Amino acid sequence: MSLRRIYTEGAEVLKKVSHPVTNFDRRLHILLDDMRETLKHADGVGLAAPQVGILRRIVIVSDENQKILELINPEIVSREGEQTAFEGCLSVPGRYGMVKRPMTVQVKAYNRNGVLYTATGTGITARAFCHEIDHLNGVLFTNYTDQLYTPDEVNKILGEDGKE
């Protein structure tokens, strides 16, 4: 496994629509393993292939149980409820914005072996599903917020205990 470079805001690869995965082969498995290692090293919640320079419809998300979900050619099939919270991104380091997302999201996707499955996420996992799938369409969370904040500003707004 290798660490991959995470592209940051302004990189053209982050503005493009990704292509579907058609080959569930060794190259895909290497990419998924590298993305997992990169996500762990960056201490993130999710990572999309365009963030590491690959225009393929691949995302990984660490769910609320710290289990890594690999989503190949993911599609959101249902959304319920609403949540608004600060959101950040490994491709927009040190900046956060208030973003409204669904509270519960169900996705269908393929695993690394080409088997179709569904996954449901709530809270942070639902947020991560939406955020990472947006990357596959060339969309950053900054498209959904009017203002970006630094970590110090976020802490001041939320207070020392992390609650408004």
**Domains and their CATH numbers in the chain:** 12-158 (3.90.45.10)
Asked whether residue 163 carries a pLDDT value surpassing 80, the answer given is no
- Tell me the whole-structure pTM to 2 decimals: 0.93
Tell me if residue 64 is catalytic: no
Query: Is residue 85 predicted with pLDDT exceeding 90?
Result: yes
Taking only the tens place, the pLDDT of each residue in 19-67 is: 999 999 999 999 999 999 999 999 999 999 999 999 999 999 998 888 9
Indicate whether 152 pLDDT > 60. yes
By CB atoms closer than 10 A (0-12, 13-18, 19+), residue 143 is exposed
pLDDT of amino acid 160: 62
Phi and psi dihedrals of 110, rounded to 5? Answer: -100, 150
Does the pLDDT of residue 140 top 70, yes or no?
Answer: yes
- Exposed/middle/buried for 152, CB within 10 Å: 0-12, 13-18, 19+? exposed
DSSP characters over 4-25: -PPP-TT-GGGGSPPBPP---S
Catalytic, out of 12, 75, 132, 160: 132
